[in-house]
Amino acid sequence: MAADIGSPTPLWRQGIPRRECATIVCLSGERVAVFRYDGKVSAISNVCQHQNGPLGEGRIIDGCVTCPWHGYQYQPESGAAPPPFKEKIPTFRVKVVEGSVFVHPRPNPPGTRVEPAQIESAQVKPREAQSR
């Protein structure tokens, strides 16, 4: 059962984005990067702590969102850099319902762990499933 995230904001009414793909949205004035990876969805700030690089244009490498500008990394579930690094960015609560992703518009404090939303295989639209 999906966790209650209050009054969520739907992001994708057309379905869940393709694997390893991020979508960047603006919620309550915050730039948010929503990543699909390993059958899950997580949402973090789109702004890198180093020099404000666009994290949503990066990729997940070794389990971490990797900034496309200089390679700083953040764990998608917590927004925290992997040890021994100390950078932290805000996270957002997410859930998946009937093939749509919902993101709570209020950011959590930087480094707050949020359980990723699980994507059931039945929620993936047929055309998307063929593109894997």
Q: What number of chain residues touch ligand FES (CB under 6 A)?
A: 9
Cα gap 37→95, rounded to integer Å:
14
Using rule CB under 6 A, residue 71 touches ligand FES? yes
Using rule CB under 6 A, residue 82 touches ligand FES? no
DSSP state of 47: B
* Contact letters for ligand FES, residues 33-62 (x by CB under 6 A): ---------------x-xx-x---------
Q: What are the angstrom distances between the C-alpha of 89 and each of 28, 97, 116?
A: 16, 26, 16
Which distant-in-sequence residues (6+ apart) come within 8 Å of 79 by Cβ? 44, 45, 88, 89, 90, 91, 108, 110, 111, 112
Q: Minimum CB separation from ligand FES for residue 126, in Å?
A: 37
Q: Among residues 48 and 101, whose Cβ is nearest to ligand FES?
A: 48
Residue nearest to ligand FES (CB): 53
Site of interaction with ligand FES (CB under 6 A): 48, 50-51, 53, 67, 69-72
